Amino acid sequence: MLEFRKVEKSFPGVRALKGVDFQVGRGEIIGLVGENGAGKSTLMKVLYGSYQHDGGEILIDGKATRFANPRAAMIAGIGMVFQEQSLLPNLSVMENIFLGFETQFSRFGVIDWKKMAAAARRQLDKVHLDIDPKVITARLSFAQRQMVELAKVLTLEERVDGQLVILLDEPTSVLSMDETQLLFKLIRELRSRASFIFVSHRLDEVIEIADRIYVMKDGEVVATMASAGAQVEQIQQKMVGRDISVEYYREDKQLPRSQEVLVELQGLCSTGHYDDISFKLHRGEVLSLVGVEGSGGEAILRSLFGLAQPTSGSLRIKGKPVAGHSAARAVASGMGYIPRERKIEGIVDGMSVFENITLSQLGKYSRAGVLRVGAEKVTAAQWMARLAIKAPSVHANAGKLSGGNQQKVVIAKWRSGGSDIILLDHPTRGVDIGAKEGIYEVIREMCADGCGVVIMADTLEEAIGLSHTILVLKDKRIRHRFDCTPGSKPLPFDLVHQMT
Amino acid sequence: MTSTVSSYDILWKWSPAIVLAALVAFFTIINPNFLSLANFARMSIAATPALLVALGVTFIIIMGSIDLSMEGIVSTTAVVFGWLFLALGGRLAEGWAWVALPAAILTGAVFGYVNGLVHVKLSIPSFMSSLAMGFVGTGIAVLMTSGERIRIEDDVFRALLLERFFGFPLMAYVGLAAVLLAWFIQRKTTLGRNFYAVGGGEHLAHASGLNVRRVRVLGFTLAGMFYAAAALLAVARLGIAEANTGSNYMFVSITSVVVGGTTLLGGSGGVWNTVAGVLIVNVISNGMVVAGLPRYLQDGVLGLLVIIAVVLSTDRKSISFVK
C-alpha cells in the first residue's frame, strides 16, 4: 500500500538517500535498521512530511504523493510515534491526544471537555491504558507516555478512511522488558488496522516483531530479508558491511583490577530512588549497574556525583568520608560524570572542542583568573590525538561533531583534568557501532591507567563484556552481585533472571 | 559531519561592521559634515557612558540573563560619588577627594553583587530582580539628593571632557581602555569563559563542576562596576550628579548589545559586537540629527532597529516559537 521508488534526498554536501526502494504491505510490520547516519531518520522524515524528497516517487495505494508538512501526512494516514517523546508535559493526557484537532469537540471555540474526555478514554482503551485522561502528562511514567503517544497516533483511525501506516522510532528505548512485550502484543493486535514501521537499534526485538527487515547503510537499502530465520550477527554484518566478532568487547584485553578502594558506599539510601546500596569501586575496575529503567542506577550515579543528596548512609571517596556532597566537590575529588543526554549535560554547543575539554578544570589553566589559552590548546590537541577525536581542529564547534566524537570530547574533558573515578551513564547510547568500539577501547585504557569506572551499560552484552563486577538492581535495591572477570562471565540470561 | 567555516559565517561575523560602514557612508552623502573630526568627537562624548553600560550588560546577556538595573545603579553611584567628592574637598588634585573614584566603583560592585544575590538566592528571574533593584537604586539616589543636583566643577575631574588629544576628549580614551579590559575579561579569564559556558548550557556547566550561582553573582557584580564607571563619565560630561543621571541608559545599552549581534538566548556574541552596536546606534542617532530628522521620530527609529536586529540575529530555524 505504501511504496518508495528510487527516492532521493540530498542536503548540502550529503546525499542522505540514494535511490531508496521501500515497500510496506497492508497490515505488515516492517523492521528498519541501520547504523546512525545510515539514512533511517531521513527516510522516516520524508515519509512523515518533515522533509520533501527531491527525486523518485512515493506511492500510496498506487498514487504518487508528496507531503508538504506532517499534517498533510497525518491526513493521509501516516502517524509517527517519536523517539523523543512529543507530549507536552504540562497539558493533560486528553489535551495531548487531541492537540491540534480540538475543533471536533468545540462549538464557537468553546471546548466540550466531557466529550473530549470520553473520546480520549476510547483512545486509551485501544492501548489498554487505564488512566484518567484528565491527569497531567508529567505525572505519567515513561512507559505510560509511550502508550499515550501511540493512542494519540491511533486517533488517525477515526479521521482517515484508508489504512494507517504508523512509524515507531526506537519505541522500546525507554521501556522495560515487560513493557516492551506489552507494546509488541499491542502492535500485533493492531495490525488488522494498521501497518507498522519499527525502527530500533535492538536487533533481537526487530527480529521478534517484524515480518520483513530492511537494512540501510550509507543512504541505501543494502538488504531486505524475512525476519523468520534471520540472525542478529547476519544483520549486524550487513549494517557495518564487515564482520564484527562476537567478542568485540575484547574480553581478552580486560586487565585485573587493583585492591585500592576509590569509592565506598555503605547503606546509601535516597527515599523513592534507591535503598540500602553498598559497594566498593577499586582502581582499574569497571563496575556495571544493571537493571530495568527506573530501578535506581541513574539516581545512584547522580548522588555519587553530588547532583542529588542521599537521605542516609555513608559515602567515602578515596578513604575520606563525604558530607554535604556537591558537583564541585565531586570534581575536586577526581570524579567525572558523563551523562546520558549529551546535549543537556555533556558538551556546550557553540563552544569549541578545546573550550569544552578544559571546562571543568579552568583553574588548572589560569593564573589569578587569567587563562593560558595556549596551554589549553596543547592539552586539547594531545587528547584529540590520544582518543582519535575526529574534528577539523581544536577550534571546531563541539556541537557540530557526531555523537561518538562528542562522547570522546566529554571523556577527554574528565581524563585531561586527572579525574580517576569516571561515572558513565549509557555512554554508547545513540552511537553507531564503529564509534562504540572506540569508546570501549577508551574505557579499557582508562582502567589500565588506574581509573575506576561505574557504568550503566546500554545492553547486557556490553555490561558483561566490559565489567569486572556487575550489580543487578531490582526495585531500587541491589539484587545480585556478579563477579565478572574473564573466564567467569555470566550470561545475559542470568542477568535478566535477576532483573525481572 | 565536519564543520567548516563557510563564507556565510564570515559574512555574518563581520555584518555589524559592514552595517556600520554603510551607515557612515549613507549619512555622509546626506550631509558631508557628518564625516568630520568635530562630529565624531561629539559622538564619542555621547557614546562613551552608554558604551560602558553596554559592556557591563553584555556579560549578563552572554550568560542568558538580562540586567535592567543599570539606570538605578548609574544614578546611585553618580550621587554617592558627587556627595563624597564634595565632602572630601571637591578637588581631585588635592587632599582625599580622589577616594570618591574607587568608592564609586565599589558602590557599583556592591549594588551589582546584591542584585545578583537577589536573583540567585531568591530564584527570581533576572529581568524582574534587576528591574526591582534598579528602582531601589533610583529611590536611594532621590533620597540622598532630595531631588537636588550636585555640581562637580573641579577642572581636573572635568578634564575627562575638556582635555583633548587628537581631537577626542580624554573620556573617549577611557572608553577605549574599558573596551580592552572587557575584551580581556571575556577572552582571557576563567570568569569570561564561564559566562559563555553558563549561557551555552547551564545544566552542563553545573555537571562540569562549575559553581553556576557564583558565576552569575560575579557577573552581576562585574556589570555593576562597569555601570559605576559609566556613571563617573556621565558626571564628568555634564558636571552634574543627580537622581536623573542614569535616565535613558537602559534602552540604549540593551539596544546596542542586541544590534551588535549578541543574541538574547545567551552563549554567543561578545565585547566587539557591543562596540559595533554602540557605534551603530550612535551613528544613527547622530546621523538623524545631522540629517535634520525631528527628535520625536528618532526614538521610533531606534525601536524599529531593535526589532530588525533581533530578527536578523536569531536563527529562527532552530527555535520555532519563543515566549
CB A385 within 8 A of CB A377: no
The residue of chain B nearest to residue A331, with distances taken between CA atoms, is B209
Interface test with B, best of A304, A333, A370 (most B CBs within 10 A): A370
Q: Nearest 5°: phi and psi at A214?
A: -100, 130
- The cell numbers describing B146, all together, are 532630595
Looking at this predicted complex, what is its ipTM?
0.72
Instruction: To the nearest 10°, report the CA torsion of A363, A366, A367, A370.
Output: -120
Residue carrying C-alpha cell 543512504: A219
- B200 chain-A contacts, CB cut-off 8 A: 348-351
What are the 10-residue block averages of pLDDT along chain B, 323 residues in total? Answer: 57 81 88 87 91 96 94 96 91 87 96 95 93 95 91 87 88 95 92 89 80 93 97 93 90 89 85 92 86 81 80 58 47
How close is the nearest chain A Cα to the Cα of B55, in Å?
Answer: 19
Q: Any residues with CB less than 8 A from the CB of A415 and at least 6 apart, and which?
A: A336, A383, A422, A446, A451
pLDDT along chain A (500 residues), means of 10: 88 78 92 79 87 88 87 86 76 87 82 89 89 89 84 84 85 77 88 89 86 88 88 78 54 74 88 87 89 78 87 87 82 84 67 88 82 88 86 84 81 86 82 75 86 85 84 85 78 69
CA gap B209, B109 in Å, rounded: 26
Burial call A237-263: b when 16+ CB within 10 Å, e when fewer: ebbbeeeeeeebbeeeebeebeeebbb
Contacts 24+ apart (CB under 8 A), B158-161: B158/B236, B158/B239, B160/B232, B160/B233, B160/B236, B160/B237, B161/B45, B161/B236, B161/B237
**Closest alpha carbon within chain B to A305:** B207
Q: Which of B189, B192, B200 is the closest to A351 by Cβ?
A: B200
SS3 per-residue string spanning chain A:
CEEEEEEEEEECCEEEEEEEEEEECCCCEEEEEECCCCCHHHHHHHHHCCCCCCEEEEEECCEEECCCCHHHHHHCCEEEECCCCCCCCCCEHHHHHCCCCHHHHEECCEECHHHHHHHHHHHHHHCCCCCCCCCEHHHCCHHHHHHHHHHHHHCHHHHCCCCEEEEEECCCCCCCHHHHHHHHHHHHHHCCCEEEEEECCCHHHHHHHCCEEEEEECCEEEEEEECCCCCHHHHHHHHHCCCCCCCCCCHHHCCCCCCCEEEEEEEEEECCCEEEEEEEEECCCEEEEECCCCCCHHHHHHHHCCCCCCCEEEEEECCEECCCCCHHHHHHCCEEEECCCHHHHHCCCCCEHHHHHHHHHHHHHEECCEECHHHHHHHHHHHHHHCCCCCCCCCCEHHHCCHHHHHHHHHHHHHHCCCCEEEEECCCCCCCHHHHHHHHHHHHHHHHCCCEEEEECCCHHHHHHHCCEEEEEECCEEEEEEECCCCCCCCHHHHHHHHC
Nearest CA in chain A to B203: A345
Alpha carbon distance A285, A469 (integer Å): 8
B215 contact residues in A (CB cutoff 8 A): none
d(CA A214, CA A491): 29
Backbone angles phi, psi at A5, to 5 degrees: -120, 115
**Torsions phi, psi for B242 (to 5 deg):** -155, 175
- The pLDDT value recorded for residue B323 is 46
Structural domains of chain A in order of their starting residue, each with its CATH number: 2-240 (3.40.50.300), 251-499 (3.40.50.300)
Phi-psi region of A498 (alpha: psi -120 to 50; beta: other; left: phi over 0): alpha
SS (H, E, C) A93-146: HHHHHCCCCHHHHEECCEECHHHHHHHHHHHHHHCCCCCCCCCEHHHCCHHHHH
What pLDDT, on the 0 to 100 scale, is given for residue B142? 94
With beta carbons under 8 A apart, name residues in chain A contacting B181: none
A326 Cα to chain B: minimum distance (Å): 8
The amino acid occupying position A111 is I
Find residue A11's DSSP bridge partners. A14
CATH of domain B17-311: 1.10.3470
Cβ–Cβ below 8 Å for B201 and A400: no
- Residue A293: the pLDDT is 64
Lookup result for grid cell 546626506: B30
Contacts A–B by Cβ distance under 8 A: 91
Report the residue from B187, B200, B211 with minimal CB separation from A348: B200
Contact yes or no for A321/A407 (Cβ under 8 A): no
B31, B41, B122, B160 from B283: Cα distances, Å: 13, 12, 40, 22
Whether residue B206 and residue A327 make contact (CB cut-off 8 A), yes or no, is yes
The amino acid present at B198, given as its one-letter code, is V
A355 to B196: CB separation less than 8 angstroms, yes or no: yes
Closest residue, chain A, to B190 (C-alpha): A369
Rg of chain A over Cα atoms, rounded to whole angstroms, equals: 24
B190 with A363: Cβ contact below 8 A? yes
For chain B, what are the domain ranges? 17-311
Q: Are A297 and A473 in contact (CB under 8 A)?
A: yes
Nearest to residue A213, comparing CAs of A201, A59, A241, A223? A223
The 10 Å Cβ neighbour count of residue A44 is 20
Q: Which of A330, A347, A371 sits opposite B209 (nearest CB)?
A: A330
Contact between A219 and A22 under an 8 Å Cβ cutoff? The reply is: no
Instruction: Give the Å distances, CA to CA, from B67 to A243, A485, B227.
Output: 58, 57, 11
- Residue ranges of B 3-42 with Cβ closer than 8 A to chain A: 3-4
Predicted confidence at residue A294, as pLDDT, reads 67
pLDDT of residue A255: 74
Q: What values do phi and psi take at A220, rounded to 5?
A: -130, 155
